Structure 1
Amino acid sequence: MLLAADEISVDASWGHIYGPVSLAVRAGGVTVLVGAGGRGRTSLLLTLAGRMKPSVGSLTAFGRTNDAHDLFRRATIANIDEVDGIEQTIRVSDVVTEQLRWAAPWYKWVPPATPDDLERICRPVFGDYSLPTMEAMVEELPELTAALFRIAVANTRKPPLLVVGGVDNLASTAGAAKLLGRLVALGEEQTVVTADVNGADPATGIREAVEVPNLTDREFAILESEVADG
Structure 2
Amino acid sequence: MRARDLGVKGARGWVFRGVELDVPAGALVAVSGIAGTGRTALLLTLAGRMRPAEGTVAVGGATGLRRIQRVAALGIVPGVTELDPALTVREHLDEALALREGVLGRFRGREARRRRTLERVGLDVAPGTLAEELAPDEAQLLGAALALAGDPALLLLDDVDEGLPAGRQHDLWRRLAGIAAGGVTVIASCHDAAPAEGLATHALPL
For the criterion TM > 0.5, the same-fold answer is: yes
Query: Which residue in the other structure is 2:151 paired with?
Result: 158
CA–CA distance in structure 2, aligned partners of residues 199 and 135 of structure 1:
33
CA–CA distance in structure 1, aligned partners of residues 37 and 6 of structure 2:
18
CA–CA distance in structure 2, aligned partners of residues 122 and 45 of structure 1:
24
Q: Please state whether the residue corresponding to 2:200 is helix, strand or coil.
A: coil
Match of 2:19 among 18, 22, 30: 22
Is the alpha carbon distance of 1:157 and 1:35 closer, same or farther for their aligned partners in structure 2, counting shifts above 3 Å? same
Contact residue 5 and residue 20 of structure 2 kept, 8 A? yes
Contact residue 96 and residue 117 of structure 1 kept, 8 A? no
Match of 2:203 among 206, 209, 227: 209
Is the alpha carbon distance of 1:57 and 1:203 closer, same or farther for their aligned partners in structure 2, counting shifts above 3 Å? closer
Describe the superposition over 1:139-172 as per-residue Cα deviations: whole angstroms up to 9, x where unpaired: 1112222221111111112321111113222332
Query: Which residue in the other structure is 1:9 paired with?
Result: 8
Query: Which residue in the other structure is 2:44 paired with?
Result: 46
Q: Please state whether the residue corresponding to 2:194 is helix, strand or coil.
A: coil
Q: Which amino acid aligns with 1:85?
A: E
CA–CA distance in structure 1, aligned partners of residues 198 and 115 of structure 2:
26
Is the alpha carbon distance of 1:25 and 1:33 closer, same or farther for their aligned partners in structure 2, counting shifts above 3 Å? farther
Is the alpha carbon distance of 1:147 and 1:203 closer, same or farther for their aligned partners in structure 2, counting shifts above 3 Å? closer
CA–CA distance in structure 1, aligned partners of residues 196 and 113 of structure 2:
35
Is the alpha carbon distance of 1:22 and 1:143 closer, same or farther for their aligned partners in structure 2, counting shifts above 3 Å? closer
Identical aligned pairs, as a percentage?
24
Q: Please state whether the residue corresponding to 1:185 is helix, strand or coil.
A: helix
Residues 1:108 and 2:128 are matched in the alignment: no
CA–CA distance in structure 2, aligned partners of residues 42 and 159 of structure 1:
19
Is the alpha carbon distance of 1:186 and 1:74 closer, same or farther for their aligned partners in structure 2, counting shifts above 3 Å? same
CA–CA distance in structure 1, aligned partners of residues 197 and 164 of structure 2:
22
**Deviation (angstroms), 1:83:** 2.9
Q: Which amino acid aligns with 2:92?
A: V
Q: Please state whether the residue corresponding to 2:106 is helix, strand or coil.
A: coil
Query: Which residue in the other structure is 2:86 paired with?
Result: 89
Describe the superposition over 1:29-68 as per-residue Cα deviations: whole angstroms up to 9, x where unpaired: 2111122235821111111111111123333443455x11
Is the alpha carbon distance of 1:42 and 1:209 closer, same or farther for their aligned partners in structure 2, counting shifts above 3 Å? same
Query: Which residue in the other structure is 2:119 paired with?
Result: 123
Q: Please state whether the residue corresponding to 2:86 is helix, strand or coil.
A: coil
Task: Indicate the RMSD between aligned Cα atoms, in angstroms.
Answer: 2.5
Structure 2 gap segments, 5+ residues each: none
Work out which of the two has the higher radius of gyration on C-alpha atoms and give 1 or 2: 1
Instruction: Count residues in correspondence.
Output: 204
